Amino acid sequence: MNFIKRGFLGITRKKGKSLILLAVIFILGNLISGAISIQQATGNVENNIKDRLGASATIEYDWEEYDKLSEEEMMNVEMENIGADLIKQIGELSYVKYYDFNMSTMLGSESIESYQGDMEENIVHHGPSMDFTLKGINYAPVLDFEEQKGKLVDGRVFTQDEVDKGTAVAIISTKLAEKNNLHVGDTFTLSNSVYTYDDETGMEELVTSRDVVLEIIGLFESQSVKEDVEVDSDGMFDWMDIDYQNTVYVPNEIVRSEMVYNWEEYLKTDEEYAEMMQGEEEVFEYYTPLFVLNSPEDKEAFEEEALPLLPEFYTIVSATDHYDSIAGPVKSMSNLSKYVLIAAVVATVLITGLVVLLFLRDRKRELGIYLSLGERRGRVVGQILIEVMVVAVIGITISLFSGNFLAAQVSDAMVKADTDDHYNDYIYYGGVFETDLTTDDVLASYEVTLNSSYILAFYGIGLLTILFSTVIPLIYIVRLNPKKILM
């Protein structure tokens, strides 16, 4: 009789053993299926969140490396500023889509009022008010607009000639414009005030000031806060957006000029300090660079080429570095599923191998007869493989759906519980990298689905595991001596 036919007959004639094997494979298959489902879901979360975080990077001082130095070594370290030439050199790397470097300072105003949103009644100023952030740019189209932090809704962006010459033009927010009845083409005045601090009274005293007159060439709207997020009663989301609403975009040279003025005027009030700070004019060349890469996958290659160009103790920091803190619950779920998958594969090999070995021992006489009649060992091995693999395909197919369903129910509950314990409704990063990601975004990205990649991965891992666990006991058949069996 053909060994293939014998294999199928072996399944139907020994229904009890086949059902036991099916149950074992089904249970273990659920573990493998669930672990693979969670692995794929967490992988999707990582990709989605990293896309939301953006493919941007900046240069920062590596304080961790600096802290490793001894006190004597620290005294000998001279911190170098990152100059415009170096930023431009790094910006020309093939991985960079576009880049900018910014200077910024805070100014006040006596002619216009800052936007304070719904919290305006609760704002109490102690000392001089510096409500306006003068943000210098070098990238004329404005990188914040390219990256959808803001959106130009009226007027135009800068020309490169305006940026290079430091023309007194500005782009402000629509809310700031509406509050002060300003429009494109109007001018407004900010005040660059110089104060000194009186140790005795604890008050700041105005020394001098000068006006900064700017022409409005464009208006922008903030895109940072989602429209579908309900603002709480304390105006929390509005408060987080206030700084940006009071940001005034100008060419870098405008900011530099005002910083130099403020510095020089302040030094006039303190001769001792002025003498100590002689030769420190390069302090005004401090820029905050931002490089937008072609894709998040370019991060490692970009770092590899950019790091050798940096001065000592500087490093590259990217927006995707924040992934661990944003998606902590999902990442822990990914690690858990990895361990479950490894444990499930090991358990499948051991348990299935043991079950198959016990079944083979019970069929020792049957196998001895096949061999004594001249059947080749390879065909006998093939018969056993058919019996096991047919049952395995059925068990794996059933567990494909049940394991996916169980993984979705269990992991969703665990991720939500973990997220509720550790995260608020709003996740925000100040400075160079900002995001409006909420816990809902993390949970929405986490979705256990039944797709082709999951099916292929599950069948591949499942069948290979069963095959490996079956091959080991088959060594028993190869070593069988039919004469001893039948005596």
Q: Is 109 exposed, middle or buried (0-12, 13-18, 19+ CB in 10 A)?
A: buried
Torsion 165-166-168-170 (CA) sign: positive
φ/ψ bin of 96: left (φ > 0), alpha (ψ from -120 to 50), beta (otherwise): beta
419 vs 361, more confident: 361
Q: Which helix (H) or strand (E) holds 203?
A: strand 203-222
Q: How far is CA 260 from CA 79, 213, 254, 401, in A?
A: 21, 17, 10, 68
The span from the CA of 20 to the CA of 322, in Å, is 48
Q: Enter the tokens of residue 446.
A: 């986490």
Looking up tokens 């294999």, which residue turns up?
A: 7
Q: Enter the tokens of residue 38.
A: 């969670």
Q: Give the model's pLDDT for residue 413.
A: 66
Given a cut of 70, whether residue 24 has pLDDT beyond it is yes
8 Å CB contact between 290 and 144: no
For the residues 216-229, what does the mean pLDDT come to?
74
For the residues 386-412, what does the mean pLDDT come to?
82
Residue 219 pLDDT class (50, 70, 90 cuts): very high
Q: Give the model's pLDDT for residue 170.
A: 96
Gyration radius of the chain's alpha carbons:
34
Least confident piece of the model among 4-18, 94-108, 115-129, 470-484: 115-129
Q: Give the model's pLDDT for residue 419.
A: 55
The span from the CA of 273 to the CA of 197, in Å, is 14
For the residues 121-140, what does the mean pLDDT come to?
74
pLDDT by residue (tens digit) across 404-448? 788 777 766 666 665 555 544 444 444 566 665 655 666 666 767
The span from the CA of 484 to the CA of 365, in Å, is 10
Given a cut of 50, whether residue 230 has pLDDT beyond it is no
Overall size of the chain counted in residues: 487
Q: Give the model's pLDDT for residue 247.
A: 94
Looking up tokens 């348990």, which residue turns up?
A: 351
61 forms beta bridges with 314
What lies within 8 Å, CB to CB, of 356 at 6+ separation is 21, 384, 388, 469, 470, 473
Average of per-residue pLDDT values in the chain: 79
111 vs 286, more confident: 111
Nearest Cα neighbor of 423 from 435, 440, 409, 408 is: 440
Q: Give the model's pLDDT for residue 98.
A: 92
The SS3 assignment for 78 reads coil
DSSP state of 303: H
Torsion 142-146-147-152 (CA) sign: positive
Q: Enter the tokens of residue 310.
A: 């940096």
Q: Which helix (H) or strand (E) holds 270?
A: none
DSSP state of 119: G
Q: How far is CA 96 from CA 91, 99, 304, in A?
A: 6, 7, 13
Torsion 78-82-85-89 (CA) sign: positive
The span from the CA of 150 to the CA of 434, in Å, is 12
Nearest Cα neighbor of 340 from 411, 418, 392 is: 411
For the residues 50-68, what does the mean pLDDT come to?
82
Q: Is 214 exposed, middle or buried (0-12, 13-18, 19+ CB in 10 A)?
A: buried
Given a cut of 80, whether residue 212 has pLDDT beyond it is yes
Q: Give the model's pLDDT for residue 232.
A: 45
